[in-house]
């Protein structure tokens, strides 16, 4: 069986085929034909309505929730299907040989895109699994604690609590409250300093780079520094970072840094990376699933967890290629951030509400939280916050109502006891989407409970 370390592992030429912008897959070769043909191939549709045609979203629907599950362009999907056909044409050839060559090439491409070394980068399905991998392999001792915060992604929050509850050493999960408004990054960093001084039992800290439900960019580098000063290992949940920010991951210096690729990198679900800091290696770090390659190296152990479909991982290279073909991350940043600012300002004016109050440096580029106007039957319904602090029932009912009645998809969340929406934009969105969201919510304010 081939290995991820095997330099002779099969890497067929069609792995790095490009996505054309008319939905076709083209060979990664130089096009020397007439200029008109080259321009047609390389022409980039305008962001908004034109480029939406490259996606498979339902016609006329409003999709302002790219941040939950992403959406991939048709050409990446077609590349995924071609891999599936190749796999089914001869499963043994795929699983014993070809898959490893593809995986090796993809890990190298993803590592380059993220600005990290291939040898420190491992692929898995999602950041929730990455967090579980660290939680469930961490060597807890009697009285140790994991620290999350009130903005931690719900599934990771639950995973931390379930892991420590099952620990035979009496480990526990503690939570740091981060309330709004946030006045400065210093305020957040000081909260960590004060908490860790009072709780020396904290040995593992989980902190989001961009908080999932509330879209707050945390000052992770400074938080990591404080945590290390108090002797804690740090796992950074960067689920929303790849394709949105370009951080210097090594400079952040967390022990582990994990991000999803199926959100803003336009590849199939599910695909993610976990980066292990080469300066802070921990011998206990292993894959969550133990399989045949356990003793053949860490990349082999992560690369083969038993028979499963790794094609979404492999297609991450095609998602990166798509980003480059449409103009690169800087162009996408400019479009999305401009649309988001304009759109959120419009919602504030139409609804008479405000966005979540945080410093400018803590605003996400592609996502923002905006308070809802009073909606009978929803805004007047008081619920007790769950452990996740976000999803408590009525918000999900309202989210489904918006979808069923107006064909508008947006994340509806609680921040404290206040209903808010998280608007997530991508290159296929326009101001018309924002206007339809605004009008749909205003219509609901006029209905009876």
Integer Cα distance of 273 and 123 in angstroms: 4
More confident residue, 64 or 377: 64
More confident residue, 292 or 445: 445
Integer Cα distance of 252 and 219 in angstroms: 10
Contacts of 430 (CB under 8 A, 6+ apart): 48, 49, 339
Tens of pLDDT along 99-129?
Answer: 989 999 999 999 999 999 999 999 999 999 9
pLDDT-based confidence at 28, cuts 50/70/90?
A: very low
pLDDT computed for residue 218 by the predictor: 98
pLDDT computed for residue 3 by the predictor: 52
Tens of pLDDT along 343-387?
Answer: 999 999 999 999 999 999 999 999 999 999 999 988 887 766 565
Please give the share of the chain, as a percent, with pLDDT higher than 70: 88
Nearest to 150 by CA among 174, 131, 128, 177: 177
Q: What spatial distance separates the first Cα and last Cα of the chain, rounded to whole Å?
A: 62
Q: Which residue has tokens 């805004």?
A: 379
Residue pair 264/244 in contact (Cβ under 8 Å)? The answer is yes
pLDDT-based confidence at 27, cuts 50/70/90?
A: very low
Nearest to 262 by CA among 103, 430, 77: 77
Residue pair 121/110 in contact (Cβ under 8 Å)? The answer is yes
Integer Cα distance of 90 and 101 in angstroms: 16
Residue 174, SS3 per DSSP: strand
Nearest to 243 by CA among 267, 215, 275: 267
More confident residue, 298 or 254: 254
Distance of CA 180 to the CA centre of its chain: 23
């Amino acid at each position: 069986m081939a290995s991820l370390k095997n330099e002779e592992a099969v890497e067929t030429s069609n792995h790095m085929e490009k996505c054309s912008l008319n939905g076709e897959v083209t060979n990664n070769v130089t096009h020397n034909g007439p200029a008109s043909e080259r321009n047609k191939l390389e022409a980039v549709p305008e962001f908004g309505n034109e480029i939406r045609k490259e996606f498979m979203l339902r016609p006329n629907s409003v999709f302002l929730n790219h941040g939950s599950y992403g959406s991939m362009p048709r050409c990446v999907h077609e590349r995924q299907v071609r891999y599936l056909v190749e796999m089914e044409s001869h499963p043994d050839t795929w699983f014993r040989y070809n898959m490893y060559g593809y995986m090796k090439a993809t890990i190298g491409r993803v590592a380059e895109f993220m600005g990290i070394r291939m040898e420190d980068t491992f692929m898995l399905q999602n950041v929730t699994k990455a967090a579980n991998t660290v939680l469930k392999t961490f060597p807890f001792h009697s009285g140790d604690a994991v620290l999350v915060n009130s903005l931690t992604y719900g599934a990771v929050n639950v995973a931390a609590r379930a892991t420590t509850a099952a620990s035979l050493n009496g480990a526990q999960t503690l939570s740091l409250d981060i309330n709004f408004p946030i006045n400065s990054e210093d305020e957040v960093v000081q909260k960590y300093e004060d908490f860790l001084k009072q709780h020396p039992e904290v040995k593992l800290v989980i902190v989001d780079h961009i908080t999932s439900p509330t879209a707050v960019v945390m000052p992770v580098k400074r938080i990591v520094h404080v945590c290390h000063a108090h002797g804690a290992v740090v796992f950074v949940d960067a689920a929303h970072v790849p394709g949105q920010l370009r951080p210097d991951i090594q400079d952040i210096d967390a022990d582990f840094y994990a991000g999803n690729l199926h959100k803003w990198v336009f590849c199939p679900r599910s695909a993610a990376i976990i980066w292990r800091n080469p300066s802070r290696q921990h011998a206990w770090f292993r894959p969550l699933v133990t399989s045949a390659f356990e003793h053949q190296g860490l990349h082999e152990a992560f690369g083969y967890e038993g028979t499963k479909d790794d094609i979404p991982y492999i297609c991450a290279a095609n998602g990166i290629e798509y980003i480059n073909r449409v103009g690169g991350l800087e162009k996408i940043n400019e479009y999305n951030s401009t649309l988001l600012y304009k759109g959120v300002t419009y919602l504030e004016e139409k609804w008479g509400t405000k966005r979540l109050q945080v410093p400018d440096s803590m605003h996400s580029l592609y996502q923002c939280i905006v308070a809802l106007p009073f909606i009978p039957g929803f805004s007047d319904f008081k619920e007790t916050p769950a452990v996740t602090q976000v999803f408590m029932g009525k918000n999900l009912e309202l989210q489904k109502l918006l979808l069923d009645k107006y064909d508008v998809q947006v994340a509806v969340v609680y921040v404290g006891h206040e209903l808010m929406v998280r608007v997530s934009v991508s290159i296929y969105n326009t101001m018309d989407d924002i206007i339809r969201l605004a009008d749909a919510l205003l219509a609901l304010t006029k209905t009876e409970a």
